[in-house]
Chains A and B, each alone.
Chain A
Amino acid sequence: MDIDLTEDQALLREATRKFLEAEMPLATVRSLADQPAGFERGWWRLGAELGWTSMLVPEEHGGGSVTDEGLLDLVVVAEEMGRLVSPGPLLPTNVVASAIARAGTPEQQAEWLPDIVRGRTLATWALCEPGGRWQTHELALRARRADRGYVISGVKEPVEAGADVDWILVTASSDAGPAQLLVPASAEGLTITRLEGLDLVRRFASLEFGDVFVPDSAVIGTPPTAADDVERQLQTAIALQLAETVGAAERVFEVTLQWMFDRFSFGRPLASYQALKHRFADMKLMHESSQAAATAAARSVQRGEPDAAQKVSAAKAWVGEKETFLMQECVQMHGGLGLTWEFDLHLYLRRATVNQMTWGTPSQHRERIARAVGIDEVVE
């Protein structure tokens, strides 16, 4: 948790936690594992009433947040959802909402935002492509100019909640640079295939676009500035993802630390062994530094700092590796119990691992930073 939460953010956190503990305890999360989408729309609408879909949307379209820094408020919600490995398309729906709020025309905003805010319309962002491609310069999916619109062809994969939403914001390459288009899930020529995956309730899909026509009215932003829009969306997505991972790790660490006091061997609590104490000191550092990185990155995005891209990538590379390592250590501390299906730890490890590998792996983000700090510049 951010040390400097405002009073309103602290209240938001408390309300979110109460709601999730009552409505989405881990037993319910497990039961959703058998359902195709991994979440129910009725539940999502309840969350929307709590503000989960409105924080990145201006008030004139039904949005609004508890402070004037909406992303930092939403980060509070994401962290709480991480604590209970909650289901639901929080990240992709909010990224699409923020994209429309940022770059959409007034008509587009009026058409989509109110229903997204109310939780009636679900949306996701299709950026990533097979082979781990997600950076704008490497996108292979094409949007070709056509009469009064574009024709899209190519594959997006994996797309979070791709088989369970109403609208898809597709980032394509076009002759004029990256282009973003809103495509209905029911579009002709679009084939959606569910993927199998690691997380019990977070589902991904493969979207194959076979010459899908999209009218001009569905183009979000214009090519010259669309690259900035995509970058901003990516930063927003990663800020939310980091918060979720940190929230998940926080819970795992709490539970495991308590276990060290409760479990006795050779007549002493596990917590009294220096070999284990030192590992907890290391884990505490991994978690505090991850939390610090997630907070610093989110603030940097919220405030639009010029080096936000590097900071976000740095936090992404660090948090992904450190928090999953922490969780593996916690598995070790629990012994055999930590490896059972019944014990909840693997739910957290699954979520954190999925988060580590999606929206760019740690290695890809380190490479992105190396480019940003000028490794390819020729120096005499």
Chain B
Amino acid sequence: MSGTPRETVDRFRLRARAWLADHMPPRPLDFNYGDWDRTRELQRRLYVGGFAGVCFPAEYGGLGLPYEYQQALTEESLPYEMPFALNSPTLGIIAPTILEFGTDAQKRRFIPNLLSGDEIWVQFLSEPTSGSDLASITTRAALDGDHYVVNGSKIWSSGAHAADWAICVVRSDWSVPKHDGITVLLMEIHQPGVTVDRIVDSVGGDEFCQEFFDDVRVPAANVLGRPEGGWPVVRGLLANEHNTVGGGSIYTSGRAPRLNTRIQSGALELARATGRAGDPEVRQLVGEDYVLGFIQEATSERLRRATETGALPPTGGALLRLLSGETHVRRSDMALQIAGVGAAAWRPGNPTAKAGTGYIGRQLGAIGGGTAEMARNVISEQVLRMPREPAADRGVPFDDVRHNSASPRPIRPDSARR
């Protein structure tokens, strides 16, 4: 930055405090993940006000400040509503991956627009036939002049219906082992050949999407990393995802009322609503609820420092991902326990409703963002250096590997197309 001395954290904090009070709405009791227009609008305010992208490089529209400034902003933002839905994947997962692997031109094109809320991003990773074994994807991209032509399908991309751009992982060479034939594309969603379907989840939400690609054209200039050099990019993407899902990213801003508040309610609120605050069992659970929050905070702080200093490899974010999954599962059980029969039948508006439906979505925390089992593989193999699992496809050209055939059919044949 141009010779002017940097503002101190304390002054930044005070300036943020005043600005937030004037520009941001009060923190909602219930955070509505699906209100994307509002998310864009709130992000735009932050950007115009000079409080977006604190840790992003200044040449790409960020503030270029150390993490302590972002921490100060997040702390000051707690009484307000923030564009929480933008944190994952746009700010915490997509942006750092573009920063790490993108060309200068790509960074100039994409980073400022995502910081301003103009472009919302999504990840096109999983496929109906490729989940945890991500490198076995069968969405194909063939080079045609200076464009790739993409055919296939992606799934579990939360919020794709509202997004503008996607990081899309495709197979562009079938004659080499699976990791060596993968290319990562930056794909515009609003274009011919892209169809986005919404999937209703078991709790009634409809943020999950499935996409279908019919001869979708993507400029070769939109390859992130090298052609057929996509696997390292994917690993970077997954590490960023683990960090973000676990709450350890330096690029996210603000803290949602609670991870997954859409379906979980707090133990204290439930204890009061059920009139069971005097019950020793319930009191234990209210105490535990605080413990879980404290542990998540302390652990993400420790692991963030550990990966920064090299005490842990970047894949250490898998520990945070596992913790957030386990915490979500445990909180679902706790809520059910406190709510008691109120989780089975309730008067309209009673918080015990969330305890019941939340329990139905209990495994969400251990599946979404990569399964807990994959996180355990990463921790044991890449953090603890235990031997890798045997794999029948190692070193074998993908064409010769037994894999699931591409399934272009939606998993819900009757789901409405957009």
Chain A residues close to B by CB (< 8 Å): 3-4, 257, 260-261, 269, 271-272, 274, 277-278, 280-282, 284-285, 288-289, 291-293, 295-296, 310-311, 313-315, 317-318, 363, 365-370, 373-376, 379
Q: Do B290 and A369 touch (CB < 8 A)? A: yes
A315 to B387, CA, bound (A): 33
Evaluate contact between A366 and B299: CB separation under 8 angstroms. no
Chain B minimum-CB-distance residue to A277? B380
Assess the B323–A285 pair: CB atoms within 8 A.
yes
CB-based contact A314/B291 at 8 Å: yes
B68 at the interface (CB under 8 A from A): no
List A contacts of B323 (CB < 8 A).
285, 289
Residues of B with C-beta under 8 A to A374: 268
Closest to A372 in B: B290
Residues of B within 8 A of A (CB): 268, 271-272, 277, 280, 283-284, 286-288, 290-291, 294-295, 297-299, 301-303, 305-306, 309, 311, 319, 322-323, 326, 373, 375-377, 379-381, 383-384, 386-387, 389
Cα distance A30–B192 in the bound complex, in angstroms:
76
- The answer to whether B305 and A271 have CB atoms under 8 Å apart is no
A314 to B288, CA, bound (A): 8
Question: Would you mind naming 17 contact pairs between A and B with Cβ atoms under 8 Å apart?
Answer: A3-B309, A272-B386, A274-B377, A277-B377, A278-B376, A280-B384, A281-B375, A284-B319, A284-B383, A292-B295, A293-B294, A295-B298, A315-B294, A365-B287, A366-B286, A370-B283, A370-B286
| CB <8 Å contact, B305 and A4 | yes
Contact pick for A282, options B306, B376, B387, CB 8 Å: B376
How far, in whole Å, are A313 and B290 apart by their CA atoms in the complex? 10
Say how far B359's CB is from chain A's closest CB, in angstroms: 22
A289-B299, A379-B272 given; A280·B386 CB < 8 A: yes
Contact A318 B373 (CB under 8 A): no
- Compute how far the CA of A157 lies from the CA of B268 in the bound complex, rounded to whole angstroms: 34
Q: For the complex, what is the distance from the CA of A4 to the CA of B305, rounded to whole Å?
A: 8
B272 close to A370 (CB less than 8 A): no
Contact B380 A278 (CB under 8 A): yes
**Least Cβ distance of B8 to chain A in Å?**
19
Chain B min CB distance to A363 (Å) = 6
Q: Are A317 and B288 in contact (CB under 8 A)?
A: yes
Q: List 6 extra interface pairs beyond A277-B380, A288-B306, A293-B298, CB under 8 A.
A: A269-B387, A284-B380, A373-B268, A373-B287, A373-B290, A376-B277
Q: Decide: A281 near B309, CB < 8 A? Known: A289-B299, A317-B291, A367-B287.
A: no
Q: Residue on B with the closest CB to A268?
A: B387
Take A277-B380, A281-B322, A288-B319 as given contacts and tell me if A3 and B305 are in contact as well, using a CB distance cutoff of 8 Å. yes
Q: Is the CB of A367 within 8 A of B386?
A: no
Distance to closest chain B CB from A111 (angstroms): 39
Looking at the assembled complex, report how far the CB atom of A329 sits from the nearest CB atom of chain B, in whole angstroms: 14
Interface centre among A315, A365, A373, A375 (most CB of B within 10 A): A375
* Contact present for B287 and A369 (CB under 8 Å): yes
CA–CA, A278 and B386, complex, Å = 10
| A281 B284 Cβ-Cβ under 8 A | no
* B288 and A311 form a contact (CB under 8 A): no
Q: Tell me which residues across on chain A come within 8 A of B306, comparing CB atoms.
A: 3, 288
Q: Within 8 Å CB of B277, what residues of A? A: 375-376
B contact residues around A295 at 8 Å (CB): 298, 302
**Given known A272-B386, A296-B301, contact A366–B376 (CB-CB < 8 A):** no
* Contact pick for A373, options B284, B286, B303, B380, CB 8 Å: B286
Among B271, B309, B319, residue most surrounded by chain A Cβ atoms (within 10 Å): B319
Q: How far is the CB of B247 from chain A (nearest CB, A)?
A: 12
Decide if B287 touches A370 in the complex (CB within 8 Å).
Answer: yes
A366 to B373, Cβ gap below 8 A? no
Contacts of B283 in A (CB 8 A): 366-367, 370, 375
The interface centre, meaning the residue of B271, B295, B298 with most chain A CB atoms within 10 A of its CB, is B298
Contacts A277-B377, A292-B299, A292-B301 given; does A260 touch B386 at CB 8 Å: yes
- A314-B290, A367-B287 are contacts. A277–B272 as well, Cβ < 8 Å? no
Candidate in A3, A257, A261 with the most chain B CB atoms within 10 angstroms: A3
> What is the minimal beta-carbon distance from B72 to any residue of chain A, in angstroms?
16
Q: How far is the CA of A374 from the CA of B287 in the complex (A)?
A: 10
Chain A residues with CB under 8 Å of B377's CB are 274, 277-278, 281
User: Considering residues A260, A289, A317, A363, which has the most beta carbons from chain B within 10 angstroms of its beta carbon?
Assistant: A289
Q: Separation in Å of the B74 CB from the closest CB of chain A? A: 17
Min CB distance, A268 to chain B, in Å? 8
Closest to A291 in B: B302
Point out the residues of chain B lying under 8 angstroms from A313, CB to CB.
287
Identify B294's interface contact among A260, A280, A314, CB under 8 A: A314
Which B-chain residue is minimally distant from A1 (CB atoms)?
Answer: B311
**Nearest 8 A-B pairs (CB), nearest first?**
A366-B287, A292-B302, A277-B380, A281-B376, A281-B379, A296-B298, A369-B287, A292-B298
Are B268 and A284 interface neighbours, CB within 8 A? no
Bound CA span A302–B271, Å: 33
* Residues on A with beta carbons closer than 8 Å to the beta carbon of B288: 317, 366
B272: chain A residues at CB < 8 Å are 379
Q: Are B287 and A271 in contact (CB under 8 A)?
A: no
- Can you name the residue of chain A whose Cβ is closest to the Cβ of B303? A288
Expressed in whole angstroms, the Cα–Cα distance for A278 and B380 within the complex equals 7
Q: In the complex, what distance in Å separates the CA atom of A346 from the CA atom of B212?
A: 58
Q: Which chain A residue shows the least CB distance to B308?
A: A3
Q: Which residue of B lies closest to A310 (CB)?
A: B290
Q: B283's closest neighbor in chain A, by CB? A: A370
Whole-angstrom distance from the CB of B71 to the nearest CB of chain A? 14
A375 touching B268 in the complex, CB below 8 Å, given contacts A285-B322, A296-B294: yes
Q: What residues of chain B lie closer than 8 Å to A315, measured between beta carbons?
A: 294, 298
B257 to chain A, nearest CB (A): 16
Give Cα distance in the complex from A284 to B323, angstroms.
11
